[in-house]
Amino acid sequence: MLGDYMSLQNPFECAMKQLQNAYSVLKKSKVKSQKSKVELQSKIEILKQPQRIINVTIPVKMDDGALRIFQGYRVQYNNARGPYKGGIRFHPQVSLDEVKALSFWMAMKCAVADLPLGGGKGGIIVDPKTLSAGELERLSRGYARAIADCIGPDRDVPAPDVNTNGIIMGWMVEEYIKVKSEKLKVKSEEKDKLRATFTGKLMKDGGSEGREEATGLGGLYVLQTILAKLNQQSATSNQQLIVAVQGFGNVGYNIAKFLSDAGFTIVAVSDSKGGIYVPEGLNPALTLDCKKKNGTLAGCYCSGSVCDLKRGKPITNEELLELPVDILVPAALESVITKDNAARIKAKVILEMANGPTTPEADEILFKCAVTVIPDILANSGGVTVSAFEWEQNLKSEHWSKEEVNRKLKKKMEAATTSVWDASLRFSTSLRTAAFVVALERILQAMV
Ligand code: GLU
């Protein structure tokens, strides 16, 4: 399991350290009067805790007739800029502190991407790959029912995250609309608007063109923008750059595919069962076919692994991080780059497609080693950006073409990347601290 090598570092402590770093920069640069100093400090105090934590138990009738009770959370971190927004994760290692960290990062991510949304996140403690399709559906519907009173298009808008997808969003949105219709008289056009409560849906349920691959495509746009800026500084070329991608779920696969299509060479990929290193380069689409060939678990998860490709050299997830590559893309879980392995990383650029893959201690080491870390709240913000487009289309009963969605996504990603890059020059900080500064400035302004 990827989770097996998660460091002991608490993700919420990491998140709060990042907040502290950005606050220190803001404090030095901005605050003139004593009054504004106190105001800034009190707003930061508010941002050290989520606004609301929803703790739910979900009873599920298992196929053998037994009842199992699952533990779930929804954390609504901050809504100063708009309704809470963020995915729902199904994983055996979900914890309240993890969901708190992820919801905080969502608030920051939506602000960096300049979306009219706040931050939230949900999770259920479960290994979904051990469930049958029926059990997975009953669990998903049970969770939607449990949080139904706290969500809605103008309150909190969940989406997919690790181990959840469009099929699961479809069950959840249907269940949510059912609950609302039982309690209130909902007209059919209002029911359509209620679909905006969940994003990342399949097209048949009101999803958006381009949502499934948006996180990967957004990552490509962010990376290309940063490389162009780095090249201006160093006058080097990024032809034939070599890349390793950790994680081969929706995000890992799509970023590998977009990078490969754009001319980068993908030499290593991995998933929860291990990885492969193919120095001459591999084809991400063929690797996915191979992972899919043995069918699915619960109708949702590939039962195979990238290792089934039987090419190159088998490697562990830890070894992948230290390969001699130009660009490293962590696209799985948090806290995989820590003080213990940061100095051994050879990549010059890290594109964080996972949430929270690098701990603050590792960040310091990488900064000293002149590694450019493109932070998660910027690098993977393409997903929530197209989620925001889906929400907007549902609310306005519109349908945007894939070209239109991708054009709008590119514009948003380039604008966000330029704001972060400029802030890093203005404050002489890492891109991470710059991204938090940009986000904080926007959130602080919206807080009353
Ligand atoms: N789970 C994704 C993330 O971490 C997407 C969230 C969304 O679309 O709301 O950014």
The closest-lying atom of ligand 1 relative to the alpha carbon of residue 109 is 10
Q: Which residues of 62-78 are buried (b: 16+ CB within 10 A; e: fewer)?
A: eeeeeeeebebbbbbbb
Q: What is the mean pLDDT of residues 323-344?
A: 97
Best CA proximity match to 75, nearest among 110, 117, 122, 111: 122
pLDDT for position 234? 59
Query: How many Cα neighbours within 13 Å face the side chain of 358?
Result: 30
* Cβ of residue 156 lying under 6 Å from some atom of ligand 1: no
Q: How far, in Å, CA of 152 to CA of 12, rounded? A: 26
Residues 359-401 pLDDT 10s: 999 999 999 999 999 999 999 999 999 999 999 999 999 999 9
Provide the mean pLDDT of the chain: 94
Pairwise pLDDT comparison (325 vs 187), residue with the higher score:
325
| CB-ligand 1 contact for 380 (6 Å cutoff) | yes
Which DSSP symbol is given to 59? E
What pLDDT is recorded for position 1? 34
pTM of the predicted structure, to 2 decimals: 0.95
Q: Cα–Cα–Cα angle for 381, 387, 388, nearest 5°?
A: 90
Q: What is the Å distance from ligand 1's center to 148 Cα? A: 19
Query: What integer pLDDT is reported at residue 290 of this predicted model?
Result: 82
Q: Which atom of ligand 1 is nearest to the CA of 380?
A: 10
Which residues lie closer than 8 Å to 97 by C-beta, 6 or more apart? Answer: 10, 11, 12, 13
What whole-number percentage of the chain has pLDDT above 70? 96
**Neighbouring C-beta atoms of residue 155, cutoff 10 Å:** 14
In the annotation, is 121 catalytic? yes
For every residue of 302-335, DSSP letters joined together read: ESS-GGGG--SEEE-HHHHHTSS-SEEEE-S-SS
- Spatial CA neighbour of 91 closest among 322, 355, 338: 355
Domains, the chain, ranges and CATH? Answer: 50-205 (3.40.50.10860), 214-379 (3.40.50.720)
CA 373 from centroid of its chain's CA atoms: 16
User: pLDDT, tens digit, for every residue of 75-107?
Assistant: 999 999 999 999 999 999 999 999 999 999 999
Give per-residue pLDDT as tens, 266-306.
999 999 999 999 999 999 998 898 888 878 888 889 889 99
Task: Find the catalytic residue in 85, 109, 121, 193.
Answer: 121
